[in-house]
Amino acid sequence: MSHTPPWGPAAGERVLVAMSGGVDSSVAAALLVEAGCEVVGVTMKLHQDGSDLPDRPCCSLDATSDARRVCQALGIPHYVANLVDRFSEDVLADFVAEYARGRTPIPCVRCNTFTKFRDLLRTADEIDARWLATGHYAQMGWHRGERALLRGADAAKDQGYFLWGMDRAVLPRLVLPVGGLSKADTRAMARRLGVRTAEKPESQDICFVPDGDHVRVLEEHLGPEAPSLRPGPLRLQDGTVVGEHGGFARYTIGQRKGLPGGFAEPMFVVAIHPEERAVVIGPRDALLGRAVEARSINWLADAPAVGDAVQVQLRHRARATAATVVEAAADRLRLTLDEPVMAVAPGQSVVVFDGPVVLGGGVIEHGEDPSAVSGAYARGGQRRAGLPILAT
């Protein structure tokens, strides 16, 4: 039984498959081979040689070796594309610069936008491959008569949130063989097909931050005396200084861990002011926002019009919420949210949906600035009732 979409490659057509060394891309390649396609595997070398990393699907030597062995077992050619310099410029440098600005970037979005799909398409053209495929948990479909990107069938694994930045020209050529499966289905498929990576554990961390310590990466690139890593004031929304932090790059909007106690209710990071090296904390209510503005906009379908009702997702694994388009310019997207959303963090992505269809997205500039809201939050005091929510 073929698991390739009916609009996808026919038997004998050449398909370039991005092979990370993980089970998802391995199964994607195996399904395309089973469907009779002429499959070519390529692994993207992104981060140095990976010798200092534990097993990470897109970076380590072990992962590249796994991809090569899968291709050997499938009887297909395997190549390695050296994208270290491009990845360093497009993804790693941006990661460091964003944290230095007090923002929280998503390197996987940058990688998909500027490194993976751009170079996959170029490589596909070089080898005369009509199609390109990945192991992402998203699906292809139709929207208003054009090829469209859809959410993955398994809500727990859906990766549509990370794919909004790819070039729209990729969509008519993109194949996502595992997007209609659950992770359990993919592993079961891998066992049936005899794929060696069937039981391989998933990677949960950023590929170049395998230990989860992003500050170490910042120190390596900025130096330990960088302003973003130096101590600064920890203060309340009314300006009262309640302590000192060890560098604002250690914090993100919505963070609770590492903050002082002694307040009438739990406190969270509600704003970061890099020009003052200040981290502002406040109660949970101060994180609620009803508006968001984004830049670096990319549309995978026709942009919605002002006044259109859409659904938006502001964090990975967050549920989508209803919103209304206030502005949809070439370089700016503004939305009002039908219900307040927690912790709208600059640097994260806002992704716009029409039902299951990924319309596009952008990088969050700001939500409503909680630090602009005055309030008497003295240590050990009572929270002022009726905290207003201010739009920016």
Give the contacts of 125 (CB within 8 A, at least 6 positions apart).
none
Q: Give the residue numbers marked as catalytic.
A: 111, 207
CB 29 within 8 A of CB 76: yes
| 273 sits in which H/E element | strand 267-273
The DSSP symbol for 70 reads: H
- Quote the CA–CA distance of 319 and 387 in Å, as a whole number: 24
- Quote the CA–CA distance of 100 and 87 in Å, as a whole number: 19
- Quote the CA–CA distance of 122 and 107 in Å, as a whole number: 21
Work out whether the CA dihedral 52, 56, 58, 64 comes out positive or negative.
positive
- Quote the CA–CA distance of 139 and 136 in Å, as a whole number: 8
Residues present in the chain in total: 392
DSSP, collapsed to helix, strand or coil, labels residue 391 as coil
Strand ranges (E), 111-227: 131-133, 138-143, 146-151, 174-175
What is the rounded (10 degree) CA torsion for 116, 209, 179, 201? 130
- Quote the CA–CA distance of 152 and 159 in Å, as a whole number: 7
One-letter amino acid identity for 244? E
- Quote the CA–CA distance of 230 and 211 in Å, as a whole number: 22
Q: What are phi and psi of 93, to 5 degrees?
A: -65, -40
- Quote the CA–CA distance of 242 and 129 in Å, as a whole number: 60
